[in-house]
Copies of this chain bind each other. A is one copy, B any other.
Amino acid sequence: MTDTPAPAPARRGRPGYDREQLLAGAVRVFNEQGYDATSVAALTERLGLSKAALYHHFDSKEQVLDASLEHALGSLEAVLDTPDALSGDAIDRLAAVLRGAVAVLVAELPHVTLLLRVRGNSEVERRALARRRAFDQRIAGLVREAQREGSVRSDIEASVVARLLFGMVNSIVEWYRPGGAEDAGRLADDVLTVALHGLRT
C-alpha cells in the first residue's frame, strides 16, 4: 500500500535511484515489453543507469519481479479483509469486493498488470499464482453464499460466475490509463452495473 509516499522531490542531475523508484520504473518497462522479453541491459538503458547500479539495489532480475508481485497481491488480499467485505449480506460483500478490486487495480495498475501476466516459470511466479488461486477461491465462495441467500442467479455455477466477473475486472489493466475520461469510481460503477444488472434495457 506504499505508493510513492511523497511525490519524490524532483531530483536534479543524476537520478540517484532508491529501491522504490527503481522498482516503479522497472515494472513500467516490464509491462511495456513483457518481463521475459526485457533484458536487464534493455531495462537499465531505459531507466538511464548501468546494470551494476541496478544489481546494487536488487539481487536479481527476479527479485524485482517478486517485489512487484508482493505489492500487487498484498493490496488485493487486503480488499478481502476490509470491513465491508466481512459482514453484511453476501451480495453486498461481493459488490464491495468488486469495487475494492477495481480500486486496487487502478491504484496499483503497474503491479497488478505484471501479476496478471505471470505464467509460473519460476518458484517466485508459482508462489504468486498460488496466492492468486486462493484469492479467486474466496471470490467463488462469496458468489456461492450470494446464490444461497438468493440474491445472485443460481443457474450458473459459482466458480464460472467468479471467473467471468474477475475476467471482466482484470481486463481493465489492458486498456485503462489513469487520467482518461473514466475515473476509478465511475469505472467500478460500470463494472457493477454490467455484472449485476446486465446490458439489456
Residues in A lying within 8 Å of B, measured CB to CB = 32-34, 36-37, 91, 117, 119, 121, 150-153, 155-157, 160-161, 163-172, 174-175, 181-182, 187, 190-191, 193-201
Contact = CB atoms under 8 A, between A and B. Distances in A.
Given A160-B190, A164-B194, A196-B200, 10 more contacts: A32-B119, A152-B200, A156-B194, A157-B182, A163-B172, A164-B168, A167-B169, A167-B170, A170-B171, A194-B198
Given A171-B171, A197-B198, A200-B151, A34 B119 contact: yes
Nearest to A173: B167
A34 to B, nearest CB: 5
A130 to B, nearest CB: 15
B167 A174 contact: yes
A163 B175 CA distance: 8
A60 B172 CA distance: 33
A195 B198 contact: yes
A152 B36 contact: no
A166 B156 contact: no
A54 to B, nearest CB: 20
A80 to B, nearest CB: 19
A168 B170 CA distance: 9
